[in-house]
Amino acid sequence: MNAEAEATASTLDTVKLGVSLLILIAGIGGFYQFEQESLLLRVIGLLLVAALAVFIALQSKPGKSVWSFAVESRTEVRKVVWPSRQETMQTTLIVFVMVLLLGIFLWLVDMLLAYILKVITG
């Protein structure tokens, strides 16, 4: 009985996602179909249709899990300790200096290899 209930829920979720996708496709098609109308009205209509599609998609189990993931991600980002301006500037300066030194080193190695190749090939 439980497997049958899960299959029904899964089928219902698939239907919800399919309807959501069809509504979104119809909204995009309507946006281009009514090109003689004001751009502002078409954009507002498209945003409303997209909001409806998202609302329907969020009613499914995968939609709820995506929403939950987004909320948890936002919570985790708030916990991050961001570097100060001074730390950022110092790290950026170190990166620039190291890139410059590595570029000069590789340029010298390239010149040496070109010289050796020139000596070998005459």
Question: Which is nearest to 63 in space by CA: 13, 19, 23?
Answer: 13
0.85 exceeded by the pTM?
Answer: no
CA 62 to chain centre: 18
* 30-87 residue pLDDT tens: 999 999 999 999 999 999 999 999 999 999 999 999 999 999 999 999 999 989 999 9
Residue 60: other Cβ atoms inside 10 A: 21
- For the chain, which residues make up each domain, given as ranges? 2-79, 82-122
- The answer to whether 92 and 55 have CB atoms below 8 angstroms apart is no
- And the tokens for 48? 């409303």
- The answer to whether 29 and 65 have CB atoms below 8 angstroms apart is no
* Portion of the chain with pLDDT greater than 90, in percent: 86
- For 3, 22, 25, 121, the CA distances from 16, given in Å and listed in that order, are 20, 10, 14, 71
- Total residue count of the chain as it appears in this document: 122
